[in-house]
Chain A
Amino acid sequence: MATMTMIQAIRSALDVALGRDENVVVFGEDVGYFGGVFRCTEGLQAKYGKTRVFDTPIAEGGIVGVAIGMAAYGLRPVAEIQFADYVYPGYDQIVSGAARIRYRSAGDFISPLTLRMPCGGGIYGGQTHSQSPEALFTHVCGLRTVMPSNPYDAKGLLIAAIECDDPVIFLEPKRLYNGPFDGHHDRPLVAWTGHPRADVPEGHYTVPLESAAVFRPGRDLTVLTYGTMVWVAACAAEETGIDAEIIDLRSLWPMDLDTVVTSVKRTGRCVVVHEATRTSGFGAELAALVQEHCFWHLEAPIERVTGWDTPYPHAQEWQYFPGPDRVGAAYRRTMEA
């Protein structure tokens, strides 16, 4: 065991995958010699060579396209999209290519690739370095969409993603790279050092896909969330004194519905929290699923706490970000309903 930041945990996962399987290749913009703008691939090119870890042209459509060709050949490409906000030129390749190659060829060709991309705000990145586009991927059949909330899960989920025969969109909440973040931007930074979820084995392990975690057990209401908002939701529980059961979905789609349904049936109340914009966000799907599976157990309307339906603003970042006050207010409304 070692204490790792999320960056170190991701790097460790890539290191383990590169070391165990000669078919794993890692590439993206600034990923090779430099080690990535967030340092997630630092040292890997020196260790594994330039044909296993390399830089690419600035062309996301090209990065995803060559990843598909490599994966069909038999490699296990792990491509980095420098920011999730940059993925859109590659979207056709993801939707029309990666997600459907197994289906359209009836299994003759497959697309076992992993696309890593930092997502989310909280770093003053403005509208081009802050987005959370997970719903654009959960809507696409054939993809797996994953978002870890801590170093232990990040490493275990990333190794599971690389070993998975399906294409995986691996979203990394960049505000969590260097420490947990409860949404109080005006307080001192907290590091991962000494945090139990930063205790990461140095070798190989996986966190299974399609499995959620009960991040904080509770009796009053169920919170369905993932990524940075797991920490915000937990902070809101402490601050309101409401005993929220916080479920960290980890795998957004396909998802662990049983854990969700079991919890909501027990608490009878549900709040969905995500950083992404509200309308047609993944929270809409979660609310629909809870309604379909738990309607007769609900004692209050399902609440959604999300980013506003605007581009992510720069100077107004903290008015946009759904912090613990907004989440806590939703808890109170749900309890009072």
Chain B
Amino acid sequence: MPAYPPLSLHIPEPPGRPGVPTDFSYLKVSPAGAVRRPPIDARPDDTMDIAESLVRVLDDDGEARGPWAPAADPALLRRGLRTMLLTRAFDARMLIAQRQKKLSFYMQSLGEEAIAIGQALALAPDDMCFPTYRQQGILIARGYPLVDMMCQLFSNPRDPVKGRQLPVMYTSRAHGFFTIAGNLGTQYIQAVGWAMASAIKGDTRIVSAWIGDGSTAAADFHNALTFACVYHAPVILNVVNNQWAISSFQTLAGGEAATFAARGVGNGIASLRVDGNDFLAVLAASAWAQERAHRGCGATLIEWITYRAGAHSTSDDPSKYRPADDWARFPLGDPVARLAQHLTRIGAWSDAEHASTQAEVEAEVMAAQKEAESYGTLASGHVHDASMMFDDVYRDMPAHLRRQRAQAQGA
């Protein structure tokens, strides 16, 4: 036997810490337009090169380049930009309202708005989404009333989920938006089940599943890839790689050794790695994946590279674990600024319109907030009656819950 050195355990470290600027060379960014666009019926193993590069359409000057540049109607892009501005304004107002204790907790999507909104615009309105807590952009893009979102956040008597869920855990079957779980990743395999059901019934609706880079470590992610591959499930498997899971850098989910997109290829699923801050790339990659699902080519995994610009939630303080200027230095920039630059370049947007739209969406959010607050907030104590906590445990309330409800009411 040779004399081997003692073994040592590898603990991944992020490429930046407070006071140590991040070295973003780890990101592996391809130039805009450089990555090929395979045919819709590409074999999964014919996407490995794309899973290891980065699909980008918009270059640094806001020009759309290469085979992925979508033939997008400027009206659709303008709608996308307005929806991103609205979502960002909504998030900003709700952060303030949380500090005012009108809601107990909030999670913003700052910096990654393009992914949820771009995909929502690429999907049919009745395609089913199984989101995480950072895809409020889907609901807003699909026209779910801001007032209803706020009533959920404020846990007031108009909260559609009766005060049972943390703020942000929306649900709306009517908007193809599955009830959000606080247990990370559980929705991913459930989404595959919905897609299998859609195929079993000969439906034409497909599914969009969502997970973050951190939660790809969970068994549900791997189960979802296995089932999606085995049954050719008509599902888009989105992995939002925003670099951080609370304080855990994406290398703690295995991002150091291989891309998250490469995990799809290894599981027999066509996979793309895409610039998630490039609205045009989001539209194009989502459309490609959607087309595959509809044509029976099976699932597509898309790893979206983006950056969680804000704290994980209002209970988090990222200044404790990452450099304060990280987002400003992130190589893929801000999705709002990049789409505005492109639209301005093609003559479909202007600084003046940007300013007026900004004012418009802020007014819209303020008006919605005024109305929602009139129904009550957590701070005002206007919440659903406590006796309703016994409803919906079962379809029909069993005897033991009727007894407990009577006890709770002091009967």
A254 and B400: CB pair below 8 A?
yes
- Whether A106 pairs with B161 at a CB distance below 8 angstroms is yes
Given contacts A62-B224, A75-B200, contact A68 B193 (CB under 8 A): yes
Q: Report A-chain residues with C-beta under 8 Å of the C-beta of B391.
A: 106
Residues 183-225 of B, flagged 1 when their CB comes within 8 A of A and 0 if not, give 1001011111111111111000000000000000001100110
Residue B352 interfacial (CB < 8 Å)? no
Mask of A55-92 contacts with B, CB within 8 angstroms, 1/0: 01101011001111111111101000000000001001
Contact partner, B171, options A74, A96, A108, A141, Cβ 8 Å: A108
Q: Residues 101-119 of chain A: 1 if any B CB is under 8 Å from the residue's CB, otherwise 0?
A: 1111111111000000000
Residues of the B chain whose Cβ atoms lie less than 8 Å from the Cβ of A73 = 128, 193-194, 197-198, 201
Give residues of chain A (231-270) contacting chain B, Cβ–Cβ below 8 Å.
Answer: 254, 257
Query: CB-defined interface of B296-331 with A at 8 Å, one 1/0 digit per residue?
Result: 000000000000000000000000000000000000
A103 and B392 in contact (CB under 8 A), knowing A65-B189, A109-B179? yes
Assuming the contacts A104-B164, A107-B392, asked whether A65 and B190 have C-beta atoms less than 8 A apart, the reply is: yes
* Chain A residues positioned under 8 Å from B62 (CB to CB): none
Q: Is B394 an interface residue (CB 8 A)?
A: yes
Contact of B197 among A57, A61, A74, A101 (CB under 8 A): A74
B223 and A106 within 8 A (CB): no
Judge if A166 is at the interface, Cβ distance under 8 Å. yes
Does B104 reach chain A (CB closer than 8 Å)? no
Q: How far is the CB of B113 from chain A (nearest CB, A)?
A: 25
Contacts of A254 in B (CB 8 A): 394, 398-400
Cβ–Cβ < 8 Å partners of A56 in chain B: 227
- With the chains together, A110 CA to B164 CA distance in Å? 16
Q: Is A210 an interface residue, CB under 8 A from the partner?
A: yes
Contact yes or no, B193 A69, CB < 8 A: yes
**Nearest CB of chain A from residue B180's CB, rounded to whole Å:** 8
Known A-B contacts A70-B193, A96-B186, A97-B190; the reply to A61 vs B164 at CB < 8 A is no
Are A142 and B171 in contact, CB atoms less than 8 angstroms apart? Answer: no
Smallest CB gap from B165: residue in A: A104
| B223 in contact with A25 (CB, 8 Å) | no
In Å, the complex CA distance between A106 and B201 comes to 26
A165 in contact (CB, < 8 A): yes
User: Please, which residues of chain B bring their CB within 8 A of the CB of A25?
Assistant: 200
Q: Does A51 contact B (CB under 8 A)?
A: yes
Contacts A57-B226, A66-B190 given; does A97 touch B172 at CB 8 Å: no
The size of the chain A interface, using a CB distance under 8 A, is 44
A93 at the B interface (CB under 8 A): yes
Chain A-chain B contacts (Cβ-Cβ < 8 Å), number: 142
Taking a contact as CB atoms under 8 Å apart, the answer to whether A69 and B192 are in contact is yes
Contacts of B200 in A (CB 8 A): 25, 51-52, 70, 75
**A166, B190: Cβ atoms closer than 8 Å:** no
Find the residue from B128, B172, B391, B395 having the highest chain A CB count within 10 A: B395
Residues of B within 8 A of A89 (CB): 219
A144–B201 CA distance with the chains assembled, in angstroms: 27
- Contact residues in A for B35 (Cβ distance below 8 Å): none
Please report the C-alpha to C-alpha distance between residue A51 and residue B392 in the assembled complex, in whole angstroms. Answer: 31
**Of the residues B186, B223, B392, contact of A97 by C-beta under 8 Å:** B186
Chain B residues within 8 Å of A142, by CB: 393-394
Instruction: Knowing A72-B178, A104-B179, say if A93 contacts B189 (CB, 8 Å).
Output: yes
Separation of A74 and B173 alpha carbons in the complex (Å): 12
Asked if B227 and A57 make an inter-chain contact with CB atoms under 8 angstroms apart, the answer reads yes
* A102 lies within 8 A of B392 (CB): yes
Once the chains are docked, how many angstroms separate the CA of A48 from the CA of B139? 38
**Contact in complex: B197, A104 (CB < 8 Å):** no
Chain A window 139-150, contacts with chain B (Cβ cutoff 8 Å), 1 for yes, 0 for no: 001101000000
Please report the C-alpha to C-alpha distance between residue A287 and residue B173 in the assembled complex, in whole angstroms: 42
Asked whether B190 lies within 8 Å of A72 as measured between CB atoms, the reply is yes
Question: Nearest Cβ in chain A — how far from B149, in angstroms?
Answer: 14
B294: CB under 8 A from chain A?
no
Give the residue among A67, A68, A73, A77 with the most B Cβ atoms within 10 A. A73
In the complex, which of the residues B164, B190, B226, B391 has the most CB atoms of chain A within 10 Å of its own CB atom? B190
* A75 nearest CB across to chain B (Å): 5
Please pick, from B162, B181, B197, B201, the residue contacting A69 in the complex, using a CB distance under 8 A: B197
Is the CB of B363 closer than 8 A to any CB of chain A? no
Contacts of B192 in A (CB 8 A): 65-66, 69
B194 pairs with A59, CB closer than 8 A: no
Is B57 located at the chain interface by the 8 A CB criterion?
A: no
Complex interface residues of chain A between 298 and 312 (CB less than 8 A to chain B):
none
In the bound complex, do residue B197 and residue A75 qualify as a contact, i.e. CB atoms below 8 Å apart? yes
Contacts of B395 in A (CB 8 A): 102, 110, 164-166
Q: B282 contacts the other chain (Cβ, under 8 Å)?
A: no
Check A257/B190 contact, CB under 8 A, given A106-B164, A107-B392, A108-B173: no
Interface string of B232-263 (1 = CB under 8 A from A): 00000000000000000000000000000000
Q: Which residue on chain B has the smallest CB distance to residue A209?
A: B398
Asked if B160 lies at the interface with its beta carbon under 8 angstroms from chain A, I say yes
Q: Is the CB of B196 within 8 A of A66?
A: yes
19 contacts between A and B (CB under 8 A): A59-B219, A61-B219, A65-B189, A65-B224, A65-B227, A67-B193, A68-B193, A69-B196, A72-B178, A72-B190, A73-B197, A75-B201, A103-B164, A104-B179, A105-B171, A108-B160, A108-B173, A109-B173, A210-B398
**Top-9 shortest CB links A-B:** A69-B193, A65-B189, A66-B193, A62-B223, A254-B398, A105-B179, A73-B197, A69-B190, A69-B194
- 7 further interface pairs, Cβ-Cβ under 8 Å (given A57-B230, A72-B194, A105-B173): A62-B189, A65-B189, A69-B189, A71-B193, A104-B179, A105-B161, A106-B161
Which residues of A does B touch, CB under 8 Å? Answer: 25, 51-52, 56-57, 59, 61-62, 65-75, 77, 89, 92-93, 96-97, 101-110, 141-142, 144, 164-166, 210, 254, 257
